[in-house]
Structure 1
Amino acid sequence: MSKKLVTIKEVVLKNNCPECYNNEGLRLIFMQKMIDTKFYQSMTSQISHEINCKTCDTVIYPVKWTDDIERVFEYQKKAFVPQKASTYLKKMSWVFIISTIIVVFALLLAVYSNL
């Protein structure tokens, strides 16, 4: 089973980076957790976010956010629409479900034919 964060939305921020003071490198990234197994693939409702600077290649943690960055973040957070939580059954699941139904049907047929 693998759990990974999938990027749903990336926003370019025009604020100054608290590390390098460049105003063209900040990116706000919204991610959603995805679970992938042999049997199914599921998009959960768990959301995370990250602000990083492409210029100085650092993650900007909330402790270092300025008031401007915080205001822009709150605005983008309200505007963000996550993907709907869903589960997709893979081929292996369908094979298992159908074979189980066939075996149960065959057993019932065998039991009732002997009566």
Structure 2
Amino acid sequence: MKEQFITIKEAALNNNCPECYNTNGLQITFKQKFVETNLYKSITKETTQEIECKTCNTIIYPVNWTDDIERVFAYQKKAFKPKKASLKLKKTAWLLIIVSVIVVVAIITLAVLNFL
């Protein structure tokens, strides 16, 4: 099973970085979990968000956030619309379903014919 987070939205923030104090480098990224197996592809409801300073290349954890960063984060989180959770079956899954249905129908048919 292959699990990864795909980027849904990125936004530049004009706040001061708590590490390097630069006003141009902060960027918030929203990601959503994507799962792929041999039978299906799925987008889940699970999301993550991360604030990173592109100037000093550090991740800004919530412990280091200023009040301004918290306000901007709250605004961006309200504006963020994740993709709907979905499940798409692959050809292998459809083939297994069809074969299973055929086998069940054949068993029921044989059982009915033997009963008569």
Match of 1:16 in 2: 16
* Structure-2-length-normalised TM-score: 0.90
Residue pairs, 1:1-115, within 5 angstroms: 1-114=1-114, 115=116
Q: Identity over aligned residues, as a percent?
A: 57
Instruction: Find the aligned partners of 1:103 and 1:93 in 2 and give their Cα distance.
Output: 15
In structure 1, runs of 5+ residues without a counterpart are none
Q: Which amino acid aligns with 2:105?
A: F
In structure 2, runs of 5+ residues without a counterpart are none
Q: 4+ runs of 1 displaced by more than 4 Å? A: none
Instruction: Give the aligned length.
Output: 115
Instruction: Find the aligned partners of 2:63 and 2:28 in 1 and give their Cα distance.
Output: 15
Deviation at 1:21, TM superposition (A): 1.5
Q: Which amino acid aligns with 1:112?
A: V
Deviation at 1:64, TM superposition (A): 0.9
Deviation at 1:69, TM superposition (A): 0.8
Report the aligned-residue RMSD: 1.3
